[in-house]
Amino acid sequence: MQALIAPSILAADFGQLNRDVELINQSAADWFHIDIMDGVFVPNLSFGFPVLEAIRQKAQKPLDVHLMIVQPERYISRFADAGAAVLTVHLEASTHLHRSLQEIKLAGMQAGVAVNPHTPVKSLFDIVHDTDLVCIMSVNPGFGGQKFIEHTYRKVARLAEFREREGLHFKIEIDGGVNQENAAKLVAVGADVLVAGNFVFNSPDPIATVERLKTVAVRDTVNG
């Protein structure tokens, strides 16, 4: 199985956004990963609906939208209208998480739940039956360019084991510090989607970098 690659637009050059969106269109990437930050849930601001809608007009691949905001349920229909194919909310930010996930699906999107590095995987066990995707944060959310947290491998493996035991089919996404050195190991322990920001956009050739990630991010479906 080959993992999906989702370059993070947060690491793009916003002065050359059309150019960078077109780079991803031309690459082997599968999704655009778009982080929405409110300066409250995380100590940073990113962008809102006008930028998301501008990306949608140019993007030729699905938009994977990751909400790092408080009370995300207020905006579910707006993100559907803005073109999100996958909408992920944080477990830590959602008081009524099950309701939010159901509303995301009713709005026609795939429903994702994200967890911060300090949140144990077992916190997901009662909700993953209702998700299409689980995003494991492998850095502290809010800023790009952080160092990958090594404990992520164990979290992914434990979640993948639970998924197999329960006969579930949600995707496991890794967000933060993904590069060519850790991609293969992440996929080997169960990851299905790799979000890569600075590693792609800060490289001399983003298209070739995505291709290298696709090449190494392969899991042997016979032996695990």
Distance CA 224, CA 133 (A): 20
Check 35, 64, 132, 192 and give the catalytic one: 35
Check 20, 30, 175, 192 and give the catalytic one: 175
175 labelled catalytic: yes
User: Which of 154, 155, 159 minimizes the C-alpha distance to 171?
Assistant: 159
35 labelled catalytic: yes
Distance CA 37, CA 131 (A): 22
Distance CA 199, CA 73 (A): 31
Distance CA 200, CA 192 (A): 18
Burial class (CB in 10 A: 0-12, 13-18, 19+), 118: exposed
One-letter amino acid of 109: M
Distance CA 211, CA 134 (A): 24
Could you give the residue numbers annotated as active site? 35, 175
